[in-house]
Amino acid sequence: MKVLVATAETQGARANDYHWATEGELVRVGEVCRKDRDDPDGGCGCGRGFGGLNSHRATTTARVAEVPLTRPEYVEAIRSSLQAQGWDPCACCSTDEADDLAEYVAGWPVGTIVERRLDLLHVRALPGELPAA
């Protein structure tokens, strides 16, 4: 299944980039707080970050990856992460979020690096545009 995972690739393209998530972990697009709701470069940083499902830490860059997960496993990963963080882990919300994220990345090739700007995801780099490691 194609999903988003945390990556440090392209970090530094924006002066306010950050990467505290675990490299390669599944990420989600979380809620935006009052400070950032009108400006992804606001005082918090949540309006430009992806939240790591395991580490519960954030990053401003994510990579499209093919991960050996079924849709029900992906839904459960989101649900259990929300529960571990103290959110109401309603199954319908986790299902909707999993479906939305999978639909969002479906058209991008594996290896695409994306950034978040509030409710929108933008391509930072396509696989052929990345510098050789």
Number of separate helices (H) and strands (E) present in the chain: 2, 7
The whole-model pTM stands at: 0.92
According to the model, what pLDDT value does residue 43 have? Answer: 84
Give tens-digit pLDDT for 101-131.
Answer: 999 999 999 999 999 999 999 999 999 886 6
Give tens-digit pLDDT for 29-83.
Answer: 988 999 999 999 988 999 999 999 999 999 999 999 999 999 999 999 999 999 9
Q: Which residues pair with 120 in a beta bridge?
A: 117
Contact 56, 85 (CB under 8 A): yes
d(CA 79, CA 113): 25
